[in-house]
Structure 1
Amino acid sequence: MQSEIVIVGGGAGGLELACKLGRKLGPGKVALVDSRLYHIWKPSLHEVAAGTLDIHQEGLSYQMLAHDNGFAFIYGPMTGLDTAARKVIVGAVAGGGEEVLPERHLGYGSLVLAVGSTSNYFGVPGAAEYTISLNATEDAERFRLRLLRLLARADEHKEESGDGGINIVIIGGGATGVELSAELREASGAYAVYGFSHLQGRRDVHITLLEGAPRILAPLPERVSNAALRLLDKRSIKVVTDCRVTQIDADKVHDKKGNVYPADLCVWAAGIRAPEFLGSLGLPTGHGGGLDVDDRLRVKGVPDVYALGDCAACVDGNGKPVPPRAQAAHQQADYLCDTLVRRAEGKPAPDKPYKYRDYGSLVSIGHGTTVGSLMGALRGASWFVEGFVARLMYVSLHLMHHQAVLGPIRTGVLAVARFLVRRATPLVKLH
């Protein structure tokens, strides 16, 4: 197999790039490789984990998107790379105990690596064994199913003895940890309505958020952090800052000060790093194991290989690392789209290097409230936003991603359909 442009990784940036290139260059020029059959917007995974979003309704089929946008979809994991022969090795796919697809070698003219990130446990004992990280849809589904089992057991104990409840500990007070804690609080009340009648969400579902920094949402302005803390407190979520986790057991979490936090369910949201397999490809790596790229997003010293998103160790015009955010991946996809279209048309590459622009951050505090800061055109200027307007902005980010891969008409139809479906189905997924 051979393709002019091969993109590995169908996350936000990789998928947007494949769709835009496919529409511009036409069929047969672009191939997308991914180990999963459908795409979900990663910032939505906290909703999947809480059960307030159904991945079987939210997920977008890569095969459908490939057909509609003019690129080829190659199903399977990337397992190796031969830069001399310009070939990507796509591993075999198995199912039901038998091989469905064999190992394949995919030739490329230009290669873009957009494989995202995985958890960074920082060597904390027990973190990998006893926590769940929301890196992919299967992680979020595993959390949701375990939560359902714990709720069923606690409800039974409550009925029999009047005693019962569950303890959820979330390690990491960044956007993922804050959003998950708020979403779980809303979901706990909904679960009590649908069959777990002996449980009261705030009384019996104990949620603790642990953060190593002096405040949650440390990279954001202090006013955003304070607003989020206030909203979490109103939802009876315990927040502990300056908390350095030192060990995690099957049923509890220990910190440096000797405190012990009971944990029936523990989530790790304290840091990310590039996937470890990148280190075996013979490519230069930088901070956090990410691929070392120049200011044109080219992997240094390797011709015609690019990287974008969380897996790229990229710096901005001031020499600071570009943050692992969806907006960065979106901007990088736009930059590389221009670069690769010019190359396909025999034109010179863009004169200007890639430059990250921070438009601010929004953090969802449940389905009704959002807080954040918006960056202005003036350097260093920002505006605090909260409430309904901020919530509309947050939802619009998801719709903008859908528009990039589905187009405006289908995005509008999908938004209306999901609005109606949510009013005809339970507030949480119960199966």
Structure 2
Amino acid sequence: MTTFSSLLLILSYICNLPHLANAFFPPIPSIGSPILTKGGAVAYHRQTTLLRQSSSDSESSNTKQPHIVILGGGFGGINTALTLPTLPWSDKCIQPKITLIDKSERFVFLPLLYELCVEDASIDEVAPTFKSLLRDGKLPTFPGLSNLSGLIGASSANDDTDEISFIRAKVEGIDVNNQQVVVSHQSSNNVETIQYDALVIATGAEISLDGVPGASELALPFYTVEQCLELKRRLALLDSYLEKRARNGDETPVNIVVIGGGYSGVELALNLVDRLGNRDDNVHVTLVHRGKQVLQCATEHNRNTGIDRLKSAGVNVITSTSIVEVTPLDKDQGNRCLVKLQCLNNSTENGITSLDTSLLLWTAGATPTSSQNKGIRNSILSRDIMGRILTSPTLNVPEYPTVFAVGDCSRPKKEPYPGTAQVAIQMATVAAWNIYATLVNNNAKSGESLKLLPFTYLSLGEMITLGRNDATISTLGGIELSGAGASWLRRLIYAVRMPTDRQRLSAAVDGTTRKLARGALEAGQRKSKPVDWK
């Protein structure tokens, strides 16, 4: 397979991911067969075969409209919601009512939070409102295919998403025996009980600071759009402080400490260095990681590239070290604190050091059941030690077959899947089909039933931002790329992976415009020379 064909294959998979198992792609030159995502669209032929087998004995549909409730609007939740209306409900079961519940009003495209933080992306690109996404969500069309719904006989009426409603509320508990969800509305503080016929739990994970004294009061997690905007505010204050320092000749060190050496920690540290520039040699960025090596789960290419960029950017990397305590230092500088570190290779007092920190950022310790997600834990569903819901390979709970879990809060096998967007998106495709099959089977009057599909994850590779104009990519097919070209490709791929067509177009235009404008500005700065008026 040529590099070009491999790249087309990756883009085809990525284009397919946000949609249902009914989507497929025409043959790619040198491959010669339709491209189907293994996580969901591989079900296409099996799905259509089942529909053909059951079409001859189709029964009249149940008059009761089923209600599907989705908890959490991350990658798993929003893609499940947008996929469900595209299924051929009229064959065996009428179109369901779909309710998406999330405590925030915005969907967050987490991989682009770094761009939002350094003002390289707009909030509408990175965090569109759920209402806008559900309004814009439509069944996609592709060249040569008049409508994908024709592939499976779905009605063109599915082009709108009127059957999907959004409720901004916090989950207080789940009663699986009575098929009810209890939520509290943030606007009115009213508590409501919502009945469901099928439930999808897609509440993701959040960073927990409860295990380190002082961390919840003094550290800023980096996981939500609100936290990202708060970091932007603090960086603006830091800009003013650095300008004042420069005027006064102050050379006191300013330390920014990032906790966690995984993908998020490395990406955040390098984007901060890029954002701050080289205007003050006394500003230092330190990355603290509990493991022996940063980017431990990354591919070899991405890990080596990331480590190389950390070194060249001057980031101080401390590994095999845990955080013991965080204490405040100066009330006049509200963010300033002392971070006490313990070297894991030296448990004595000699292994304890402290960092005077002006800004403490936290990317480690994401868990599905943090203190902010207590209501999700308020159920009798079986979980692992990290709080992930134990499911069957078909993503539903064995004891409660109409309850599904996708994304970071789901564990369908012994070894958990990576907590990444592509896992959640692929799970959403399979979960949507299995919800459809479950409800159809429950309404079926004959012995014929649709099969539920087991989830199989296909890793498409990984992309890491290393700054405003730098990234590293390793993909399925062996493509490895880093530098400015990788940064452009990463932004393009993420634009394609947005949940709706309008959001894809907006992200592609916004990202391209910003990169072109920055490139022109940097080129102008390189060409400009000071004028000697003498």
Q: What is the TM-score of this pair, normalised by structure 2?
A: 0.69
Q: 2:128 aligns with which of 29, 35, 60?
A: 60
Superposed CA offset, 1:106-145 (max 9, x none): 2111000000101244823322222111221111112221
3-state SS, counterpart of residue 394 of structure 1? helix
Retained in 2: the 8 A contact 1:117–1:135?
Answer: no
3-state SS, counterpart of residue 382 of structure 2? coil
Per-residue deviation at 1:292? 1.5
Which residue does 1:291 correspond to in 2? Answer: 389
Retained in 2: the 8 A contact 1:154–1:165?
Answer: no
3-state SS, counterpart of residue 213 of structure 2? coil
Alpha carbons of structure 1 residues 58 and 104: separation in structure 2 relative to 1, 3 Å? same
Per-residue deviation at 1:364? 1.0
Superposed CA offset, 1:350-380 (max 9, x none): 354212222222211012222243344xxxx
Alpha carbons of structure 1 residues 343 and 294: separation in structure 2 relative to 1, 3 Å? closer
Superposed CA offset, 1:137-193 (max 9, x none): 11111222122223322321331243355311001111100111111111113xxxx
Superposed CA offset, 1:322-354 (max 9, x none): 111111101101111221233344474535421
Which residue does 2:267 correspond to in 1? Answer: 179
Equivalent AA in structure 2 for residue 85 of structure 1: N
Alpha carbons of structure 1 residues 168 and 58: separation in structure 2 relative to 1, 3 Å? same
1:253 and 2:336 are equivalent in the alignment: no
Retained in 2: the 8 A contact 1:20–1:337?
Answer: yes
Retained in 1: the 8 A contact 2:173–2:377?
Answer: no
Retained in 2: the 8 A contact 1:9–1:114?
Answer: yes
The structure with more radius of gyration? 2
3-state SS, counterpart of residue 179 of structure 1? helix
Superposed CA offset, 1:201-224 (max 9, x none): 452431111122222101123443
Retained in 2: the 8 A contact 1:3–1:107?
Answer: no
3-state SS, counterpart of residue 399 of structure 2? coil
Which residue does 1:89 correspond to in 2? Answer: 182
Per-residue deviation at 1:414? 4.4
Retained in 2: the 8 A contact 1:284–1:300?
Answer: no
Which residue does 2:100 correspond to in 1? Answer: 32
Alpha carbons of structure 1 residues 422 and 375: separation in structure 2 relative to 1, 3 Å? closer
Per-residue deviation at 1:385? 3.1
Distance of 2:240 and 2:216 partners within structure 1: 26
3-state SS, counterpart of residue 111 of structure 1? strand
Q: How many residues are treated as equivalent by the alignment?
A: 400
3-state SS, counterpart of residue 203 of structure 1? coil
Ranges in structure 2 where 5+ consecutive residues have no aligned partner:
1-64, 138-160, 329-336, 343-350, 442-447, 522-534
Retained in 1: the 8 A contact 2:269–2:315?
Answer: yes
Which residue does 2:451 correspond to in 1? Answer: 350
Equivalent AA in structure 2 for residue 268 of structure 1: W
Ranges in structure 1 where 5+ consecutive residues have no aligned partner:
190-199, 377-381
Retained in 1: the 8 A contact 2:306–2:466?
Answer: yes
Q: 1:169 aligns with which of 254, 257, 273?
A: 257
1:5 and 2:5 are equivalent in the alignment: no
Distance of 1:239 and 1:268 partners within structure 2: 15
Which residue does 1:141 correspond to in 2? Answer: 229
Superposed CA offset, 1:369-405 (max 9, x none): 22243344xxxxx554323443344224422321xx2
Alpha carbons of structure 1 residues 313 and 287: separation in structure 2 relative to 1, 3 Å? farther
Distance of 1:242 and 1:383 partners within structure 2: 32
Which residue does 1:325 correspond to in 2? Answer: 420
Which residue does 1:395 correspond to in 2? Answer: 491
Equivalent AA in structure 2 for residue 173 of structure 1: G
Alpha carbons of structure 1 residues 417 and 172: separation in structure 2 relative to 1, 3 Å? closer
Which residue does 1:195 correspond to in 2? Answer: none
Retained in 1: the 8 A contact 2:113–2:126?
Answer: no
Q: Percent identity?
A: 25
Per-residue deviation at 1:281? 1.9
Which residue does 1:367 correspond to in 2? Answer: 468
1:282 and 2:380 are equivalent in the alignment: yes
3-state SS, counterpart of residue 323 of structure 1? coil
Spell out the pairing of 1:117-266 with structure 2 (5 A cutoff): 117-121=205-209, 123-164=211-252, 166-189=254-277, 200-201=278-279, 203-250=281-328, 251-256=337-342, 257-266=351-360
Question: 1 or 2 for the larger relative contact order (CA 8 Å, sep ≥6)?
Answer: 2
